[in-house]
Amino acid sequence: MSKFLKSTVALTALSLMAAPAMADRLGLGRAALPEEIAAWDGDVRPDGTGLPVGSGDAIIGEEIFATQCAACHGDFAEGIDNWPKLAGGIDTLYHDDPLKTVGSYWPYLSTAFDYIKRSMPYGNAGTLSDDETYALLAYILYSNDLIDDDFVLSNETFFDVEMPNADGFIIDDRAETEYAQWRGEPCMENCKPEPVSVTMRAMVLDVTPQEEAEAPAEGTIVAESAAQAEPEVVAALFDADLAEEGEKVFRKCKSCHQVGEDAKNRVGPILNGIVGKPAGAVEGFRYSKPMAAAGEEGLVWSEAELIAFLANPKDYMRGTKMAFAGLRKEDDLVAVVEYLKSFGD
C-alpha cells in the first residue's frame, strides 16, 4: 500500500471516530449574552412591540432625506432610474403595473420603521438614530399626503397614522378552506358549481372564452368621454381663506419654485402670475421640450389645467422635467392654485 493510501485510510478512520462528538458540539464560541441579543433584537411589530421611544417630523426628515436618501429615491421620494419610488401609487393596486409604496401598499407603519432602521441608508445601514428614523418616516408619510408637515411622529402618535391599505391583506386560510378540495380523489369534471363565470382572462394565450357583450349605444360613449374630458371648473373668485390653506400646501413646492417680489427661477420657474399664463412662458427658465411645445400649441394654465397638471405631472405631460409626484388630495390642489392666484406678474 502506498503512503498516500495509508494516510487516506488513517484520516478516514479518525474522521469516523470524531464525527459523533462534532455533531454533538463543535466546541466553538460561547452562548450569547442577554445584552448582546437585546442589541440585535430590533424587531418592531404591528402591535407596537419593540417600538423605541423617540420622535421626529417631516421638516427634520426632509433634511435627512436630502442627504441620506435623495440620491436614489429623488428629492420628492419619486425614485431615480430603477431605484424605488417611495411616494404615490394611491389607487393603482388594481392596475396592470401597480405602484407599491408605503402610501399605497404597505399595511403596517411598523414595517416601514423596522425596515428603515435596520436597512437604510443604503451602504450605511443601521446608522440612523431612533429620532432620525421617526423623522425620515414622517417625511415619507408627508410625501404620500398621509400626515401634515407639523405632525410629530413618535412612539405615542404612531398609531394615529391611518395606512390606506391596512385592510388590503387577508389571513392565509387556505389550509382550512382549500386544501381539502385539493386532496383525496381529484375532481376532473364539472368541478365548479353552475353557473361558471369568467373572473380573469389569460394575458398571453388566447384561451379565455369571449363574452358577447352588447355594445353600448354610440351616444353613451360620447357622453362618458365628454364627462372625462371636462374637469370640474373651479370658481374664479378669489378666496383668501382658501389661499391661506394653499400657502401651507405650497411648502411642498418651495424647494423648486418661488413666488413673490424677490422670486427667482430655481429648479422650477417663478410662479408669479402663473394662473392664466401660457405654458412655458417664464422668461429665463429653460423648459423641457414637451412643456415648450405645449406652450407653442396654445396651452394656457387655467385653474383647471393647473389642477390636472399638479395632480400627476408625469401623467399629464410625458417628458416634463417636474419630478414631483403630484398632490393627491383635491382640497390641496384647489387650495394651492388659489394661493398662486394671489401672486400677479
Please say whether the beta carbons of 345 and 269 come within 8 A.
Answer: no
The span from the CA of 330 to the CA of 232, in Å, is 11
Domains of the chain: 55-154 (1.10.760.10), 240-342 (1.10.760.10)
Which residue has cell 378666496? 239
Classified as helix, coil or strand, 135 is helix
Question: What DSSP string runs through 253-282?
Answer: TTTT---STT---SSS---TT-TTPBTT--
Predicted structure pTM score: 0.59
Q: What is the pLDDT of residue 102?
A: 94
pLDDT band of 105, cuts 50, 70, 90: very high
What pLDDT, on a 0 to 100 scale, did the predictor assign at position 222?
46
What digits encode the pLDDT tens for the residues 287-309?
888 888 888 888 989 888 888 89
Q: What is the pLDDT of residue 216?
A: 56
pLDDT, one tens digit per residue, over 35-69 is 998 888 889 999 999 999 999 999 999 999 999 99
Instruction: Please give the full DSSP string across 208-242, using - where no structure is assigned.
Output: SPPP-PPPPPHHHHHHHHHHHHSPPPPP-S--HHH
